[in-house]
Amino acid sequence: MRAFLGDKVIVLGVTGSIAAYKACEIASRLVEHGAQAIPVLSASAQQFVGAASFEGITGQRAITSMFEPAQNPDIEHIAVARRADAFLIAPATANILAKAAQGMADDWLSTTLLATRAPVVFAPAMNMNMYSHPAVQANIATLQSRGCAFVGPGSGQLACGDMGPGRLIETQAILEALAVALHHDKPLAGKRVLLTSGANHEPIDPVRYIGNRSSGKMGHAIALEAMRRGATVTVVSGPAEVPPPYGARVVPAHTASAMLEAVQAHWGESDIFIGAAAVADYHVENPPAAKQKRSTATVHLELTPNTDIAAWVGLNKRGHQIAVGFAAETHNHLEFAQEKLRKKQLDLVVANAVGVADSGFGKATTRAWLITDDHVSAALPLMSKEALAALLFDAIAGLPAGVSAAPRA
Ligand SMILES: Cc1cc2nc3c(=O)[nH]c(=O)nc-3n(C[C@H](O)[C@H](O)[C@H](O)COP(=O)(O)O)c2cc1C
């Protein structure tokens, strides 16, 4: 997330919801990822949380009123409106949504929302009846039509005791939505990316499985980068330490055959396939329905090969579609990746090193090569998975089939 939020100036507007205390955690995560967070508290928010908490967390002076006794030019509303890379209103009350939708300017935050041209992300939090009220829904629709982004709310037990939509969504989802909003360029708008991510668990019996160490981090980075560039993303996700990012459509698929089925169901409507999952090569044929008892006898598992998903996609590719594979290798990276590209009729293969300390399953960084029909990149320097995802989409844009073709109706 540091790759997206680092050095960004984020105005964190906190309004008068019972969830206002959660904004301290959001401020803290923004700072942790290298952003400069400018806290702004509405008068009502100050009934729930104090400016001192935000000042302590962010190291910035909190803005608490329009007319401060000694006005600091740095926090004057037009100056901040110009300086901000994005506005994040979390939690956003029904009141601030109404004011923003109507263009009201009766306090610092609502006034500055009119003055800024930076992206605005709202994370609403309120009672479920308030949230579903047509007035609130109409305000949300108005703000969305003007390009504001919304994240959440989540569903569950609300502070008032009701169950339903209205909870402030988790901080991670808020940061992901912010990362998407911060990317102004949307060259993949109208394009659909189909991605496999995570591991596979091939059952041995109802409680045991054969698995692998894929964490889903690379898939997460790819999905987020695709959304930052404007694509609609479907993630066929196996078990993963890091779930797909907020905003992606997720199709859970624990085994290779479930993944294949999901890919087959969605490939027809997709423009780009990226196979980042560590798909199991084999499965146990007809695993027993009952848990197998421990015994002293040696157990032999008979493993049957799974259908190769990337090869199926390559074979079933139409003119405008692009298929990208990953080759996780401990050795002969380029040779194996080139063979994979050719055999599976892929447009691009990302070879990456596994089995080393700083690259591969579960790691935050990666050592990779990008391989296309006519080009093998030199070994890319050690980089974050986010940085590799960005290079991958740059490379996809340069492919001859080109995602520059007009989006399909
Ligand atoms: C205990 C308490 C909890 C509240 N929680 C919420 C809430 O979660 N969402 C909301 O929209 N309003 C909530 N309100 C009402 C707002 O604080 C009120 O509408 C206020 O005018 C909002 O002002 P602001 O948007 O300028 O912060 C709550 C009020 C109280 C007293």
Q: What pLDDT band is residue 2 in, cutting at 50, 70 and 90? A: confident
Q: Which tens digits make up the pLDDT trace of 382-409? A: 999 999 999 999 999 999 754 433 333 3
Distance 250 CA to ligand 1 centre (A): 33
Average pLDDT (333-339) is 82
Distance 97 CA to ligand 1 centre (A): 12
The structural architecture, per CATH, of the domain 192-397 is 3-Layer(aba) Sandwich (3.40)
Whether 321 lines ligand 1, by a CB cut-off of 6 Å, is no
Lowest mean pLDDT among 272-286, 305-319, 390-404: 390-404
Q: Which tens digits make up the pLDDT trace of 350-379? A: 998 777 777 777 777 888 999 998 788 778
Q: What pLDDT band is residue 3 in, cutting at 50, 70 and 90? A: confident
In this structure, the residue with its CA closest to atom 13 of ligand 1 is 17
Q: Which tens digits make up the pLDDT trace of 128-154? A: 999 999 999 999 999 999 999 999 999
Distance 26 CA to ligand 1 centre (A): 19
Q: What pLDDT band is residue 156 in, cutting at 50, 70 and 90? A: confident
CATH of region 2-182: 3.40.50.1950
Q: Which tens digits make up the pLDDT trace of 92-124? A: 999 999 999 999 999 999 999 999 999 999 999
Q: Which residues lie across from 349 on neighbouring strands?
A: 325, 371
Q: Does 160 qualify as catalytic in the annotation?
A: yes
**Domain assignments of the chain as residue spans, ordered by start:** 2-182, 192-397
Distance CA 22, CA 170 (A): 9
Averaged pLDDT of the chain: 92
Please compute Rg for the chain using Cα positions. Answer: 24
The residue ranking higher by pLDDT, 67 or 342, is 342
Buried b (16+ CB within 10 A) or exposed e, 208-243: ebbebebbbbbbbbbbbbbbbbebbbbbbbbbbebb
- Residue 261, pLDDT > 50, answer yes
Helix (H, G, I), strand (E, B) or coil at 50: coil
- Per CATH, 2-182 and 192-397 having the same topology is answered yes
- Cis before 288? omega within 30: no
Question: Quick one: pLDDT at residue 76?
Answer: 80
Distance 230 CA to ligand 1 centre (A): 33
Its pTM stands at 0.92
Residue 94 alpha carbon, nearest atom of ligand 1? 11
User: Pocket of ligand 1, candidates 22, 66, 89, 93: which has the most ligand atoms within 8 Å of its Cβ, to mutate?
Assistant: 93
Helix (H, G, I), strand (E, B) or coil at 320: coil
Q: What pLDDT band is residue 227 in, cutting at 50, 70 and 90? A: very high
Decide if 109 contacts 96 (C-beta within 8 A).
yes
